[in-house]
Amino acid sequence: MYVLGIETSCDETGVAIYHSEKGIVSDLLYSQVKMHAEYGGVVPELASRDHIRRLVPLIKETLKEASLSSDDIGGIAYTAGPGLMGALLVGATTARSLAWTWQVPAIAVHHMEGHLLAPMLEENAPAFPFVALLVSGGHTLLVRVDGIGQYELLGESLDDAAGEAFDKTAKMLGLGYPGGPKVSALAEQGEARFKFPRPMTDRPGLDFSFSGLKTFTMNTLNKTEKTDQDKADIAYAFQMATAETISIKCRRALQQTGLKRLVIAGGVSANKQIRASLQEMTKKEGAKLYFPRLKFCTDNGAMIAYAGCQRLLAGQQESLEIYAKPRWPIDELSSL
């Protein structure tokens, strides 16, 4: 079965077609980054309007690239939340309307389940059960995964998400939006000069907190002359602190669950230093690390098509009601 996947939860219009046996046959992305960069962050209303402009042409292009017609599509998967309400509604209404026209089922997909399952698109996909660290612009979640929809929340951020911390640090350093890749690039010019705290690692538990790190970064920056080298050294220290904090919590989660497989996904999982720290930690623990290819770390239609396909194959069907959920706890999902 060919499933069309539609992602419009934030600032990327993602469309892909996944086949239950052949895998991803076509995958296109239109990023709004340039448009929002002017404002230093995502402007929700502009995001919604741009999704309206881009989505239908991108669906046509995705079909063309796969040499398929609408008759070949057996189901449509779309991100129904969490995310920006207006942006979500563009995907939801388009997906539902197309499904009605094409007389195929449509399925609402949880954006973070999409991220969580993205490593399944790789050749050496992880087997269940595993521990997953989901790190994006809006979420930092540690989850025990026993199967699709079988999610036990082990820990989460009590304040800023990891991606948010990267984005705010970028702003402080005058790097603009989107922050993660920019902080990471600047950190490569930096040296180990400042020692930043590893928040909440000195007490038990699997929750995170990144807002203190943000303040520490600001205070450190204000004590320097803010030269290019000062900024690079701060980016380096911030990235190192984040990577080590994440690594300590993931090690704890592996030890606590007794599991030997760790999955990282979401935009921040594209970060080289975080991947390297987790590689080192999992090696020491005798565990294995799994992550999606770089373009499937950040938002994309492929992960939505995959997650939706699994739910459709399991016979899940929904009513014709169109809905979007800007807030949607992942442990509320039904198991297959």
Q: Which two tokens stand for residue 60?
A: 């046509």
Torsion over CA: 71, 72, 75, 80 (sign) = negative
Single out the segment in contact with Zn ion by CB under 5 A; choices: 207-215, 221-229, 293-301, 302-310.
293-301
Q: How many residues of this chain interact with ligand KG4, rule: CB under 6 A?
A: 19
236, 289, 248: which is closest to 265 by C-alpha? 289
Which residue number, 75 or 247, has a Cβ lying nearer to ligand KG4? Answer: 247
Candidate list 5, 81, 91, 138; residue touching ligand KG4; CB under 6 A: 138
CB-nearer residue toward Zn ion: 167 or 299: 299
Q: Are residues 138 and 160 in contact, defined by beta-carbon separation less than 8 angstroms?
A: no
Residues 71-100 that bind ligand KG4 (CB under 6 A): none
Shortest Cβ 31–ligand KG4 spacing (Å): 10
Q: Other C-beta atoms within 10 Å of 302: how many?
A: 27
User: Structure tokens of 68?
Assistant: 């398929």
Any contact of residue 7 with Zn ion (CB under 5 A)?
no
- For 292, list phi and psi in degrees, rounded to 5: -75, 160
Residue among 75 and 157 whose Cβ is closer to ligand KG4: 157
Burial 118-133 (b: 16+ CB within 10 A, else e): bbbbeeeebeebbbbb
The answer to whether residue 167 forms part of the interface with Zn ion (CB under 5 A) is no
Give least dist CB 251 to ligand KG4, A.
Answer: 20
CB nearer to ligand KG4: give 66 or 140.
140
Q: Indicate whether 50 belongs to the interface with Zn ion (CB under 5 A).
A: no
Closest by CA position to 79, among listed 102, 107, 56? 107
Looking at residue 211, its amino acid is S
Of 67-75, 132-140, 202-210, 311-319, which part binds ligand KG4 (CB under 6 A)?
Answer: 132-140
Site string for ligand KG4, 254-273 (x = CB under 6 A): ------------xxx-xx--
Q: Determine, following the binding rule CB under 6 A, whether residue 180 of this chain makes contact with ligand KG4.
A: yes
| CB-nearer residue toward Zn ion: 59 or 84 | 84
Contacts of 132 (CB under 8 A, 6+ apart): 116, 141, 142, 143, 144, 145, 262, 263, 264, 265
Q: Are 184 and 238 in contact (CB under 8 A)?
A: no
Contact pick of 13, 26, 32, 136 for Zn ion (by CB under 5 A): 136
Among ligand KG4, Zn ion, none, the one that 126 touches (CB under a kind-dependent 5 to 8 A) is none
Please list the residues that pair with 147 across neighbouring strands: 150
Q: Which residues bind Zn ion (CB under 5 A)?
A: 136, 299
Q: Which residues bind ligand KG4 (CB under 6 A)?
A: 10, 136-138, 163, 166-167, 178-181, 184, 266-268, 270-271, 298-299
